[in-house]
Amino acid sequence: MSLQGYPYRTGRRVRWAWLCALGLMLAIAWPTAAQIAPTLPSTSNPPSQVKRFGNVEVAPVRLPLLQTPLVEVTAPTVYDRSDPAQQQASVEQRAAQVSANLNRGLDRFRDAGRIQVVVSQLNGEPILLLSDGQSQPIRLVTVTSLDAEYNGLSQAELAEQWRSQIQAAIERSRQVLSPRQWFVTLREVARILLIAAIATLIFWGIQRELNYRAAQLEAQQRAAAAAAIESEAPPEPAESEPVSRLLLQRSRLLNRLRHSGSLEGQLSWNQGLRWLLFWLLIAIWYWASFRIITVTPILDQFRDEWLNVPIRLMGLWFASGIAIRIAHLLIERSAKAWDRTNLLAVEGDQRRRDLRITTIVRASKGLATVLIVFAVLLAVLNTLGLPASSVLAGSAILGLAISFGSQSLVKDLVNGCLILVEDQFAVGDVINLNGQGGLVETLNLRVTQIRDAEGGLITIPNSTISQVRNLSRTWSRVDFNLEVGWENNVDRVLACLQQVTEQLYAEPEWQALICEPPEVLGVDAITHQGLLIKVWIKTQPLMQWKVGRELRRRVHQALQAANISIGRPQTVCYWPELEGQKPSAEAIARGQR
């Protein structure tokens, strides 16, 4: 028995699962999100790079080239940055001014042999100057008493500390721009790229072998299923027999489901190895990019960002893949346990139980994938710093549209669960619903797909299914009605039919399709046409048409041999003229009418 059905199409299912999860999230969260007013940036809160400690605000000063924090300057707290009458400069303005002074000094002294940061005094406060020892120095920053108080040092001690830090950063930035350093950096980057390229080629070769092996396994699987179909399926019916074509479609589908699992274990391992190789390749190139950022001083400023959000997003992506595979494995293990304990057995019908288990497993896998992707989507929004409620509030129109559409989606899911729990039908059944009839090829929590006798694929949402007529559940019946003429002996006709049905049931070929001895019920109705005799034959699921055709063929031969006539409509013509007289032309015409 195959528990996995058709080959697993990961890309299409994951994309469908992401879309379903997004629609479900918008549908559930819409009523709350629609009531949330869009928030505007607050003018009383400081910018993200500014830290506030009561009446003191602190901001970092960055070197223009490397963008690494050098020192932290302070300023009194500004509570309303939108007030045009505010005369006090904010701390971020002071930090930006110091960075601009550094940039101007480095640009002016770029050809100087040595650039020095010196400490001087102005109005009794220490200041830092940038000088090349020849031209007029550039003033960088004044060390205020608030700076010293925040750092817990005296103004002179803090000035000396800032001087050494800025001096080291300037020398490092000049070293970064030197031709020798660029040569060393490029050589290291080339070595990293070479390692990544070699690893990629190795993984590509392994991936190619795995793809070739997967193609071989799939070809063997198709060949085994085709051989089973050829050996077990009935011959191709004539074009005028739609019921026979339907039976052939069902036989082929059941054989494909039964034999597709023989190599499914090897295919699963192959797919798992390919998935692992994909992630190893991502890890190799992520390591290569991180190493390039680390060894390149001008890119070192992005190291923390590269270690934060991207690796968390890839971790969520990887975890979702692991979770989906574990969930699918647990579902398959549970299905095998249910099969062994016969919890889903239906009157001992092994094929029926197999079909139901296959249907439930496929639907459960889809549901588990949607739930996991939905949870990961919420985690991704949180990682990106976008609260789900804010995203939904900003997408009010889209959320409203999807929420209306998702109402029918929820109905489909609920009705799909009821169909599976109540075992109304399963993949491989022949059913009639909503005026359509055919073979069930696909059944999930949202839609049911059936293929009719002409080969048309009909898709029906589960929410629209209200009444189902299952023609293949447990057993079927031939309801045979024969109308014979009045002139026949009833007992003789009943004996003839009893003999035909007993001979049919006695043959092993037909006895395998008939569940119980046939029943000749007797005269069921008396009409002007004749006597209506009813025969019931209980058959295997969907075998009523095949047995019925054979029964009608044999009954016709038996009636001819016994000279038994079938019923026919009777008409009595009445002439009012006396008996024995020749009727007039007018009476003859009236009687013919």
Is 551 found in the same domain as 517?
Answer: yes
pLDDT-derived band at 198, boundaries 50, 70, 90: very high
Q: Which residues span the domain enclosing 512?
A: 476-562
Among residues 230, 262, 223, which one has the least CA distance to residue 248? 230
Length of the chain: 593
Please, which residues bridge with residue 53 across strands? 56
Q: Is residue 133 within 8 Å of residue 114, measured between CB atoms?
A: yes
Is 241 found in the same domain as 199?
Answer: yes
Average pLDDT over residues 198-208: 90
Is 191 found in the same domain as 170?
Answer: no
Q: Is residue 460 within 8 Å of residue 447, measured between CB atoms?
A: yes
Q: Inform me whether the pLDDT recorded for 216 exceeds 50.
A: yes
3-state secondary structure of 543: coil
CA 307/CA 254 separation, integer angstroms? 51
CB within 8 Å of 85: residues ≥ 6 apart: none
Q: Inform me whether the pLDDT recorded for 43 exceeds 60.
A: no
The last residue of a domain, from among 117, 142, 176: 176
- Antiparallel, parallel or unpaired: β 430-433 and 436-443: antiparallel
Q: What is the pLDDT of residues 108-130, one digit of tens each?
A: 777 677 788 888 888 888 998 88
The 8 Å CB, 24+ separation contacts for 138-146 are 138/101, 138/104, 138/105, 138/108, 139/101, 140/98, 140/101, 140/102, 140/105, 140/166, 141/61, 141/71, 141/73, 141/98, 141/101, 144/74, 146/56, 146/74, 146/75, 146/76
Q: What is the pLDDT of residues 554-574, one digit of tens each?
A: 999 999 998 988 888 877 666
CA 301/CA 254 separation, integer angstroms? 61
**Per-chain mean pLDDT for the chain:** 76
- Residue 14, amino acid: V
Is 114 among the domain residues? yes
Is 360 found in the same domain as 266?
Answer: yes
Among residues 81, 85, 82, 78, which one has the least CA distance to residue 58? 78
Average pLDDT over residues 246-275: 65
Is 573 among the domain residues? no
Is 228 found in the same domain as 149?
Answer: no
| Class of residue 237 by CB neighbours under 10 A (exposed 0-12, middle 13-18, buried 19+) | middle
Is 340 found in the same domain as 203?
Answer: yes
Is 572 among the domain residues? no
- Compare 20 and 205 and report the one with higher pLDDT: 205
Is 270 among the domain residues? yes
pLDDT for the residue numbered 504:
92
Is 202 found in the same domain as 258?
Answer: yes
Is 77 found in the same domain as 137?
Answer: yes
Q: Inform me whether the pLDDT recorded for 26 exceeds 50.
A: no
Is 336 found in the same domain as 240?
Answer: yes
Is 380 found in the same domain as 282?
Answer: yes
Is 150 among the domain residues? yes
Give this prediction's pTM.
Answer: 0.50
Is 430 found in the same domain as 325?
Answer: yes
Is 291 found in the same domain as 383?
Answer: yes
pLDDT for the residue numbered 367:
82
Average pLDDT over residues 403-428: 77
CA 208/CA 449 separation, integer angstroms? 35
CA 17/CA 100 separation, integer angstroms? 50
Residues of the chain above pLDDT 90, percent: 11
